Structure 1
Amino acid sequence: MSSPAPSRARISVIGAGPGGLTCARILQRHGIAVTVYDHDTDPAARDQGGSLDLRAEDGQLALREAGLLDGFWKLARPEGQEMRRWNAAGILLNSQVPEEDDLYKPEIDRSQLRGLLLDSLEPGTVHWGRALESVGGPHDGPRLLRFTDGTTVETDLVIGADGAFSKVRPAVSPATPHYSGVTFLEAWFDDVENRHADLAAMVGRGSGAATDGERAVFSQRNSGGHMRVYLIRRAPVDWIAAAGLDVGDTDGLRAHLLAEYGHWSPDMLRMIVDNDGPYVDRPLFVLPAPHTWEHVPTVTLLGDAAHLMPPVGVGVNLAMLDACELALALAGATTVDEGVRAYERTMLPRSTEMALALDGAADFLLGMGDHVEGEDEFRALEAKLEQRSGRTG
């Protein structure tokens, strides 16, 4: 089958996260029809996660191409770039406060970003409650999307923007995510200025981190008076069940965490056990570094589906940059195949470089704080990220 022109192709994006929605928005701005399928039943079906920092050279660039940068600035929190670090005793080691005109990586809630993108799309673009089971059909198309409800859709291009455990990925690659050995346990705090005033004052307007070298805490202010705290530890992927608990046993998990973090100061322990509501288990999975594939003219990947890395502030930014470059490549190509090739020529080397730079960074997340070696590692990793982005100073 000959590859169709993008303007006449049936293009299907799997996944209505920031990457998939950014791709759809930019395609529509260039007059290219697209349909997005997502397994959620509606936009509010589940919590979208915490705050994101959108960087000037990737996340913000993508929003500019999407025509949404002004809308972003109405929601963004430049003050959220503030970063504090403590030791396990709760002693402040350093604080980085952004300059008033520093707009390099302001924060925005993930739900707000998703809402901004959803509202920009043509009505009916996103089909909710469509969980993909597999991608069939010949490599040169047309492809057949098989959904778990038994329905099928024929399409000319499948864009996998469906995250870590992508159902699209097997159509181009046999790679599967593996557990990094590091797990996050997420805790929520509501109305922090009133109900958790001491923690609000301690964390400030942005984020904060502490470690004892074996376990860590990362706290993050969100909009609307909310805060999220991530408890970072090395543990088996099934550590909750192995402890005879389940994720809904909040009191049991608190007792378990107190035993692990018991030598931390009372101020730090409040971040760990004074949360409102249940914890959320978030084990960290990564793809092999690097992850590449042989070109297929009818399927490609972006974001975590293409390059799942440790969460050190690049994931959503890279997903949105991928989405932007893919959409622009298709808009400037004579055929879908040509556009996908052009995109992958840029994206795969970039993701390879970044994945290799961040290989093992899940363990690094436990080494920040009052340990000089860990702090040096953190600075080295920041330097790698800034070197990649071309940012100096």
Structure 2
Amino acid sequence: MNSVAPARARISVIGAGPGGLTCARILQRRGLTVTVHDRDPGPDARNQGGTLDLHADNGQLALREAGLLDAFFELARPEGQEMRRLDPTGAITSHRIPEPDELFKPEIDRGQLRDLLLGSLHPGTVRWGQGLERISGPADGPRRLHLTDGTTIETDLVIGADGAFSRVRPTVSPAVPRYTGVSFLEARFSDVGNRHRDIAELVGQGGAHAADGERGLFAQRNSGDHIRVYLIRRVPVDWIGRGGLSADDTGAIRALLLEEYAHWSPRLRRLITDNDGRYVDRPIFALPVPHTWEHDPTVTLLGDAAHLMPPLGVGVNLAMLDAAELALALADCATVDDAVRAYEATMLPRSTRTAKLLEGGAEHLLSADIPDLDGGNDGDGEADGDGDSDALLTKA
């Protein structure tokens, strides 16, 4: 079968995260038809996670192509670029304050970014409650999507934007994410200006990182007077069950953390123990490096589905850059096959270079001597792809 022209193609994006929605938005701006399928029953089905920063040289470029850069700056928090490094006593060892007009990587809550992208799409673009079960059909198309609501849809191009444990990826690659040996345990604080003033003063307007070589934490300011803290630990992936605990046993987990962080200052331990509600376990996974695949004319991947890396400030930014480049290739090329080839010829070498630089990088989050880097909190390495951790790199 000859590859169809993008203008006549049925294009299906799997996953309504920042990458998938950015791709859909740019495709629609270029006059192409696209449908997004997502497993969640609706846009408000779950919390979208913490804050992330969008960089001028990738995430912001994608938003410019999407016609949403000005709207982004109206929502973004430039003051969130502030970064503090603390030692286990709570003393500030380095402090970066952004310039008043600095806009290289301002922060925005993930939920706000998603709402911005969703609101820019044609009504009905996203089909909620339609997760992907499997793909069938010949490689040269058309493909058939078997969805969780029991429907089957025929399509000319499947774009896997469905995160760490992608259901699209097995069609082109046998690779599966591997646990890095490092896990984040998320603690949340609300109404910090009134209820957690000391913590708010310690963290500042952006993020704060502390580590002692064996354990660490990263705290980040979110909008709405919220702070999220990620306790960074080298533990087995099943450490909760292995220790005879349950995810809901907040008191027992807190007692264990107090033992592990016993030599840290009382002020820093408040970031560990004064949280509102339960902890959320977020083990960090990554795909093997390099991760490439044989070209398929009707299936491709972007973002974490293509190149899941430790959360060191690149995840969402790369996903949105992937999305923009793929959408533009589809708008400019004669056939879907040509567009996928052109996109992968750029994306795969770039993601391989970046993944090699960050390979094993989750361990750096525990280092007391981590260098000052210009990353941001937008990496996704968690099992559910839900959080971002800025910092240190620097966020999830």
Q: How far apart are residue 338 of structure 1 and its match?
A: 0.5
Structure 2 counterpart of 1:299: 299
Equivalent residue for 1:46?
A: 46
**Partner residue in 1 for 2:248:** 248
Q: What is the rounded CA distance, in whole Å, between the counterparts of 1:331 and 1:315 in structure 2?
A: 24
* Equivalent position SS for 1:306: helix
**In the alignment, what sits opposite 1:385?**
none
For structure 2, list consecutive stretches of 5 or more residues without a partner in the other structure.
Answer: 376-396
Letter in 2 for 1:356: K
Q: Secondary structure at the match of 1:63?
A: helix
For residues 95 and 327 of structure 1, the distance between their equivalents in structure 2, rounded to whole angstroms, comes to 39
Distance 1:145 1:277 in 2: 39
The secondary structure found in structure 2 opposite 1:72 is helix
Task: Write out per-residue CA displacement over residues 60-108 of structure 1, whole angstroms, 9 at most, x where no aligned residue.
Answer: 0000000001110110000000000111111110100001111000000
**Code of the aligned partner of 1:323:** A
| Paired letter, 1:182 | V
Matched, 1:14 2:1: no
Name the Cα RMSD after superposition: 0.9
* Residues 151-204 of structure 1: per-residue CA shift (max 9 Å, x gap): 211100000000000000011100000100000000100000100000101111
Who is 1:391 aligned against? none
Give, in whole Å, the separation in 2 of the partners of 1:261 and 1:13.
Answer: 44
Q: Identity of counterpart residues, as a percentage?
A: 68
Distance 1:173 1:43 in 2: 29
C-alpha separation between the residues in 2 aligned to 1:339 and 1:380? 34
Once the 2 structures are TM-superposed, how far is the Cα of residue 150 of structure 1 from its aligned partner? 2.4
In the TM superposition, 1:1-393 aligns within 5 A as 1-367=1-367, 369=368, 374-375=369-370, 378-379=371-372
Q: 2: CA distance between counterparts of 1:135 and 1:106?
A: 38
CA contact (8 A) 2:250 2:278 kept: yes
Give 5+ residue unaligned stretches, structure 1: 383-393
In structure 1, what is the Cα distance between the partners aligned to 2:220 and 2:3? 46
Query: Matched residues in 2 for 1:151 and 1:241: separation?
Result: 37
Q: TM-score normalised to the size of structure 1?
A: 0.94
Partner of 2:380: none
SS in 1 for 2:312: coil
Q: Per-residue displacement from partner, 1:310-352 (whole Å, max 9, x unpaired)? A: 0011000000000000000000011000000000000000000
8 Å Cα contact 2:39/2:148 also seen in 1? no
- 2:60 corresponds to which letter in structure 1? Q
| Letter matched to residue 274 of structure 1 | D
Cα deviation 1:199-252 (Å, max 9, x = unaligned): 101111000000011000000000010010000000000000011111111111
Contact 2:129 2:149 in 1 (8 A): no
Distance 1:324 1:380 in 2: 25
SS in 2 for 1:365: helix
Q: Which amino acid is 1:286 matched to?
A: A
Counterpart-to-counterpart distance in 2, 1:381 and 1:26:
28
How far apart, in 1, do the equivalents of 2:162 and 2:80 lie? 28
Q: Report the number of matched residues.
A: 375
TM-superposed CA distance for 1:149, in Å, is 2.9
Taking the aligned partners of 1:363 and 1:250, their CA distance within structure 2 comes to 26
Tell me the TM-score normalised to structure 2 length.
0.94
Q: Which has the higher helix share?
A: 1
- The amino acid that maps onto 1:322 is D
Which consecutive aligned stretches of 4+ in structure 1 deviate over 2 angstroms post-superposition? 378-382
**Matched residue type, 1:117:** L
Structure 1 residues 34 and 188: alpha-carbon distance in aligned structure 2, compared to 1, 3 A threshold: same
SS, match of residue 48 in structure 2:
coil
**For the residues of structure 2 that align with 1:152 and 1:279, how far apart are their CA atoms?**
38
- Aligned residue type for 2:302: L
